[in-house]
Amino acid sequence: MTRYIARRLLQGAGTLLLVMFVLHLLTTVAIQLNGNPAQAFFGDKVATPAQVAAVEERFGLDDPCFDQPGNPCLGPFAERLGQYARGDLGTNLRGREVADIVGAAAPNTLRLFCVVVVTWLALGMVLGSVAARWRGSAGDHGIRLTSVLIDAFPVFVLLIVYRYVVAVPLNRWSKETFGEDSWPPYWFRPSFDPAHPWATVLVPGILLGLAGSAAFIRLVRASQLESYAGEHVRTARSKGLSEPRVVVHHVVRNSSVPVVTAVGLTFAEALGGAVITEGLMNIYGMGGVLWEAVRNDDVGLVLGIVTLLTTVTVLVMIAVDIAYALLDPRIRLGTDD
């Protein structure tokens, strides 16, 4: 187990370095081809070469390699790695500490993800299990139809409709019904409120979770159906175990492996949904920050954030692998291969 984890960590570190280097190259090429972001600082003003040069220096873009298309800019990359090794994530273009930005944005995204994952699991496990247990029933058909409907309804439509059509009247209604001083008006606020982060992230999180839950419902249903047909279940039943025990111990548990995998894999994908949700609901989070950073050719910020995200993703993947072993003893962690 230890050896397995060590090997995965090493692989993870390798992946991380590779991702960082590829991103470094991409942003560098973007700057080389598109022109220096220092120019955008001046907007409509006509800047003299000295003014542009001074701002380039301030932004850390004064290395001549940024003006030479094709130059991989290894110098600035090595410098940045050294910085990271010292635990310094550097600054964004305008000199704000990346650590501060992440410190402010990450908790909001994590809150959102918490709500999303709970929604996924709750909906996926409950509806998927019900559909599998009573396969072919009206309930099963209803649940499958619902999952198709959810898929057909893009998350941004769901959020826009919620924000512009539902939230305002709901918010007013809850104020009148429960009073300004109660929680419901906060749940239905059209935008995030940093002073009440959990209350205002709840509904957007549930909506984003809802949008992603269709895949989970189908996954849980399919893998449980497989279990129901499995020999171990037949054996369990023939041993005279009660139905609830068979379902819980032999069906649900065995079908959890693909679900956990999916949570791990969808974690990275959820960031895409987070960009939309954060943008629409005005949540200051990692998705939105990364989006803006890429738009502004903000090398320092892009690399800093992606490095952190990659680290998290690699760790989640390892955690998922370990969870496999715990869920299914047949999956060995390669101590003897």
Partner 1 sequence: MAQITSRITATAGVAAVALTLAACSPSDVEGATDGPVTVETWISQDMETLFPGDAGSYDNISVLDVVYDGLVRYDPETTEPYNYVAESIEPGAENLVWTITIKPGLTFQNGEPVDAEAFARAWNYTADGDNGLYSNYFFSIIEGYDDMQPETGDDGEIVAPGAVDELAGLEVVDDLTLRVTLNKPFAGFATVLGYTGFFPVAQECLDDVEACATEPIGNGPFQVTEWTQSQELTAEKWADYPLDETPDYDAIHWTEYATGETSSWADFQAGQLDLSFPPTAEVEAARNDPELSQRYVERPGSALTYLGFSLYDDGPWQNVEFRKAISMAIDREGIISSLGSGSATPADSWVVPGGVPGGEAGTCEWCTYDPDAAEEALRRAGGWPEGEKLQISLGDDAAEVEYFTAIGNSIETVLGIPYELNIDPDYFSTRAAQGYDGMFRNNWFPDYPLNENYLSFYASGEPGAGHFGWYSKAFEDKLDEAAQAPTLDESIDLYQEAEGILAEEFPTIPFRWSFSATYYSERLDNVVLNPFSGAPMLRAVEVTDA
What are the C-alpha distances in Å from 308 to residues 106, 178, 227, 313? 10, 42, 38, 9
* Pairwise CA distance, residues 313 & 19, whole Å: 12
Backbone angles phi, psi at 165, to 5 degrees: -110, -40
Helix segments in the chain, DSSP class H: 2-34, 37-40, 49-59, 74-85, 98-133, 138-152, 155-161, 168-178, 184-187, 197-229, 231-238, 243-245, 256-281, 286-295, 299-327
Q: Which is nearer to partner 1, 121 or 322 (CB)?
A: 121
Mark residues 121-160: x for contact with partner 1 by CB under 8 A, - for none.
xx--x-----------------------------------
How many residues touch partner 1 (CB under 8 A)? 80
Minimum Å gap between C-beta 190 and partner 1 is: 3
Mark residues 161-200: x for contact with partner 1 by CB under 8 A, - for none.
--xx--xx--xx--x----xxxx--xx-xxx-xxxx-xx-
* Pairwise CA distance, residues 277 & 254, whole Å: 33
Minimum Å gap between C-beta 330 and partner 1 is: 13
Q: Tell which one of 55, 219, 271, 306 touches partner 1 (CB under 8 A).
A: 55
Q: Which is nearer to partner 1, 3 or 249 (CB)?
A: 249
Q: Which is nearer to partner 1, 16 or 294 (CB)?
A: 294
Q: Which of residues 256-315 bind partner 1 (CB under 8 A)?
A: 256, 278-280, 282, 284, 288-289, 292, 295
Task: Give yes or no for residue 330 binding partner 1 (CB under 8 A).
Answer: no
Task: Give yes or no for residue 202 binding partner 1 (CB under 8 A).
Answer: yes
Q: Which is nearer to partner 1, 14 or 69 (CB)?
A: 69
Q: Which is nearer to partner 1, 84 or 284 (CB)?
A: 284
Q: Which of residues 309-328 bind partner 1 (CB under 8 A)?
A: 326-327
Q: Tell which one of 51, 71, 83, 311 touches partner 1 (CB under 8 A).
A: 51
> First vs last Cα of the chain: how many Å apart?
12
Residues belonging to the chain: 337
Contacts 24+ apart (CB under 8 A), 291-299: 293/92, 296/37, 296/40, 296/93, 297/27, 297/30, 297/31, 297/34, 297/37, 298/37, 298/92, 298/93, 299/24, 299/27, 299/28, 299/31, 299/61
Q: What is the dihedral of CA 251, 252, 256, 257, to 10 degrees?
A: -20
* Pairwise CA distance, residues 283 & 194, whole Å: 8
Q: Mention every residue, 6+ apart, whose C-beta is less than 8 A from residue 95.
A: 58
Q: Which of residues 22-41 bind partner 1 (CB under 8 A)?
A: 34-37, 39-41
Which of the stretches 10-18, 60-68, 77-85, 313-321 binds partner 1 when contact is defined by CB under 8 A? 60-68
Backbone angles phi, psi at 97, to 5 degrees: -60, 130
Q: Which is nearer to partner 1, 96 or 332 (CB)?
A: 96
Q: Reduced to 3 states, what is the DSSP secondary structure of residue 255?
A: coil
Which of the stretches 58-66, 132-140, 141-149, 233-241 binds partner 1 when contact is defined by CB under 8 A? 58-66
Task: Give yes or no for residue 236 binding partner 1 (CB under 8 A).
Answer: no
Q: Which is nearer to partner 1, 14 or 154 (CB)?
A: 154
Q: DSSP state, 246?
A: I
Q: Which is nearer to partner 1, 16 or 110 (CB)?
A: 110
Q: Which of residues 67-126 bind partner 1 (CB under 8 A)?
A: 67, 94-96, 100-101, 104-105, 114-115, 117-118, 121-122, 125
Minimum Å gap between C-beta 121 and partner 1 is: 5
Q: Which is nearer to partner 1, 81 or 104 (CB)?
A: 104
